[in-house]
Structure formats: structure tokens, C-alpha cells
Amino acid sequence: MQGSFRTIELSDANFEFDGLRFLTVKTPNLKGRGDICVFVPKSEKPLKNLPIYSLLHGVYGSAWAWALKGGAHKSAHEMMQNGEIAPAIIAMPSDGLWGDGSAYFPHHNKDFAKWIVEDVPLAIQENIPEAGDKSKLCIGGLSMGGYGALSLGAKYSDKFSAISAHSAITKLEEMELFVEEPLSDYTENATQPNVVDIITDNKTTLPPLRFDCGKADQLINGNRDLHAQLTELRIPHEYTEFSGGHQWEYWQEHVRKTYLFFNASIAHK
């Protein structure tokens, strides 16, 4: 089946490991190819229309980062085995591989937002048998991926059942802490409002929202500000601070909270 994409490459089951599958599709939104790492749970009976939990990576990374630096698939597998969460597909797409990080919004004639919001779920629904057109979608991420999750989850609130972010960039200017490219490279042909503005613009349709940050993280003040702003605006959300900094040990531990939140949000729908 050709499906919606001109070209599709799906990893061979004979060589896959730990429930991970790898998918590459060509899309006009990226003017080329995009990669998706997918964790698919195993079951004795056929699974269909499983929810899809998208995890967006941070700067410097790609589709492999959440799995091979964060062990996100292993955490998910363990929680499913223990009955903490129901079976779900974990989708870990690349950000489109622009510069040190695309920030997940349209610029340079590439639509990094539509890649995540439209192409990634569609590619999985058309090529992974355990997914389908009734699969519910949730979106999460870390750092730049947290920025993407908060922005895209709010802007496209009709598509997502829940939003979760760890150690999130909350204003585009904070990208300057990490990337080589000047901020003007991002904003020359596009404007990107701060996360709080996007959430406020979509507050009446916002799905369940949570975010957290480490107390030693350089982004802690931005997260505290966002929490204070949302509280003042009476926009429902959960915000928690934990010990730790801007590092994989933190995300390895707290991604489990994202899974629990997604699972509960879908169960209540």
C-alpha cells in the first residue's frame, strides 16, 4: 500500500530490537525525508487503534534520542507490563533536522509543525498495523521538544488528548542558550509567539496539560513564569518541580509521569 507519502522505508522485523521500529517518509512539509522511531508493544492478541504518544526531542538530537539516550521505550514497556498504563505506541520523530534544532514551527519554507502534527501520526497509522484512524494522540517532549509539545498541543488542540513537557523552553529567545544559529534565522520569515500566548489563544479548547522542571535547570525561571501566568489566567494545568538539572537522567526518570498523565487523560475521555 503506497498511502499518503511518495516514498516509505520501514525497518525489517528480522533486524528490529526491543520493540523499536524505524520509519522514513518523504513529505512536502520537510521538502524531503523525515525519520520516526516507533515503539510498538507486543501482544498475544492483535492490537488495533492504539493511542500514539509522540515524544519530541531537544536540540542536537534526532529520532533516536528519546529511545537510545532516554530509554523511553524501556520505561513504556515496563509500565505496560506492570499494568500501570494501557498499551500505546510511542512515536519519537526527528524535528526535521534543521540547524541545531528546528523548534518545531514553520520557517525556511519548511513546515516543521505540520510534519509533527500531520505527517507523523499519518505515517504511523498507514504503516504500523497496531495504529489506525481511531488512534488517539498525545504530545510531549523535553527542552526544545517541550516547547514544541506545549506550542503544538495548544495550537492544534483538536488533535491531541493531552500535553506534557519536561524542562521546556517557554520563549523562543531561550533557544539562544543552546543553538549556534542566531534567533533572527528563526524569525526572518516567520513569527512565533511565546508559549503562554499560544495557550491563551486556545484556552477554551485546551486538552489536559502538565509540565515539570528541575530546580537546578537553567530553564526553571521560564517554567515558573509560565506556571504563574497560567495560574493568573485561570487556565487549568499541573506544574511540578523536582530535583535535577537539564540532563538525560532527569528525563529518563520523569518521562514516566508523561505516560501516566497521557494514560489517565485518554481513560477519562
Q: C-alpha distances in angstroms, 51 versus 35, 98, 113, 252? A: 20, 28, 20, 21
Mean pLDDT of 13-41: 98
Mean pLDDT of 47-76: 98
Of the candidates 147, 53, 39, the residue with the CA atom closest to the CA atom of residue 101: 147
The share of the chain scoring above pLDDT 70, in percent, equals 99
Is the pLDDT at 1 greater than 60? The verdict is no
Q: How confident is the model at residue 121, as a pLDDT?
A: 98
Q: How confident is the model at residue 224, as a pLDDT?
A: 98
Q: What is the mean pLDDT of the chain?
A: 96
Q: How confident is the model at residue 2, as a pLDDT?
A: 62
Q: How confident is the model at residue 269, as a pLDDT?
A: 66
Is the pLDDT at 44 greater than 90? The verdict is no
Is the pLDDT at 178 greater than 80? The verdict is yes
Residues sharing a CB contact under 8 Å with residue 30, sequence separation 6 or more, in sequence order: 96, 110, 111, 112, 115, 119
Mean pLDDT of 214-240: 98
Mean pLDDT of 153-167: 98
Residue 267's pLDDT band, with cuts at 50, 70 and 90, is confident
Lowest-confidence pick of 29-38, 100-109, 181-190? 181-190
Query: What cell does 163 get?
Result: 500535553
Is the pLDDT at 206 greater than 60? The verdict is yes
Q: How confident is the model at residue 79, as a pLDDT?
A: 98
Q: How confident is the model at residue 193, as a pLDDT?
A: 82
pTM above 0.95, yes or no: yes
- Beta-bridge partner residues of 9: 24
CA 9 to chain centre: 22
Q: Provide the sign of the torsion angle of the four alpha carbons 205, 209, 215, 217, taken in this order.
A: negative
144/167 Cα distance (integer angstroms): 9
